């Protein structure tokens, strides 16, 4: 079943200014973008053509982690924080294809998601899908909203897919993850990924994008971002580049310097 939204809208949406979620949606082949987003996406791609396969590698990593959590780890509850705009193979779709009773809550601060809920697809009757409109840094609001759909006395998979680069301060990003992990019961999981500059050209183009007035994204090195998993039990193959995490026949091999990620059990 689909459940109501939690939270409130936050003003009007200015479609004349590029928005990172809509640009990402454009690169992934989605439909929820506007001319300003397409122009920004095209300009980025002209300077750095590998950005589209890079974005698709990030999405493929998300799909494989959700599949692992539902099929092999037996998780039936998912909290997808910073979910962004829907494309294909969204978290609830991947999980519910494996177990129809999976319950999934999406969290995003952008009221734009309210306009595109129909594109997300319906939940199964056995399971549930809901949204929380909240800033992911407000972890109390995230958890309070999730409690309307999820039972936090039972294991939950916390999914944070390539969004923490939007939090410029490292301590803020690390604290956010630790607060959310701390609210989940033993036997839950954290599935997390973070972009890394594939090369110096990629870094330079991203810096130009960050200076354009769009919402910035900060690349971080894997030696730093592995700290998100401190105190948790990483599952094989550990914290690795996206293409190397349980690859399947659809896994790209763009570069070993793609973003990195992992899945870990909360003891």
pLDDT at 26: 82
pLDDT at 13: 63
CA–CA separation, 133 and 109 (whole Å): 5
Token pair 């050209």 in the structure block, residue:
201
pLDDT at 49: 86
Q: What pLDDT, in 10s, does the model give residues 200-257?
A: 999 999 998 888 777 889 999 999 999 999 999 999 999 999 999 999 876 555 556 6
Cis amide linkage into residue 237, ω under 30° from 0: yes
- Percentages helix, strand, coil for the chain (3-state, rounded to 5) are 40, 15, 45
- Residues of the chain scoring pLDDT < 50: 8-11
Buried b (16+ CB within 10 A) or exposed e, 128-150: bbbbbbbbbebbebbbebbeebb
Q: For 167, which DSSP code?
A: -
Boundaries of every domain in the chain: 20-266
pLDDT at 99: 98
Q: Please state which CATH class domain 20-266 belongs to.
A: alpha beta
Q: Exposed (0-12), middle (13-18) or buried (19+): which is 4, by Cβ within 10 Å?
A: exposed
pLDDT at 165: 95
């Amino acid at each position: 079943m689909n459940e109501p939204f939690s939270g409130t809208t936050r003003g009007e949406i200015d479609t004349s200014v590029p928005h990172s979620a809509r640009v990402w949606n454009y690169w992934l082949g989605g439909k929820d973008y506007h001319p300003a987003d397409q122009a920004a996406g095209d300009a980025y791609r002209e300077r750095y053509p590998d950005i589209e396969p890079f974005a698709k590698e990030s999405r493929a990593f998300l799909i494989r982690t959700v599949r692992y959590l539902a099929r092999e780890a037996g998780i039936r509850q998912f909290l997808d924080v910073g979910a962004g705009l829907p494309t294909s193979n969204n978290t609830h779709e991947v999980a519910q294809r494996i177990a129809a009773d999976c319950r999934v809550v999406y969290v995003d601060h952008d009221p734009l998601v309210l306009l595109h809920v129909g594109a997300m697809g319906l939940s199964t009757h056995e399971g549930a899908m809901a949204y929380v409109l909240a800033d992911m840094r407000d972890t109390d609001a995230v958890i309070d909203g999730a409690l309307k759909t999820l039972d936090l006395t039972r294991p939950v998979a916390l999914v944070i897919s390539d969004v923490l680069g939007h939090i410029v301060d490292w301590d803020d990003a690390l604290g956010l993850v630790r607060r959310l992990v701390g609210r989940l019961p033993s036997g839950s999981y954290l599935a997390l990924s973070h972009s890394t500059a594939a090369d110096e050209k990629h870094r330079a183009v991203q810096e130009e994008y960050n200076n354009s007035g769009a919402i910035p994204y900060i690349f971080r090195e894997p030696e730093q971002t592995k700290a998100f998993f401190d105190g948790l039990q990483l599952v094989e193959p550990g914290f690795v580049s996206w293409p190397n995490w349980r690859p399947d026949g659809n896994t790209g091999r763009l570069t070993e310097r793609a973003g990195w990620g992992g899945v870990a059990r909360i003891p």
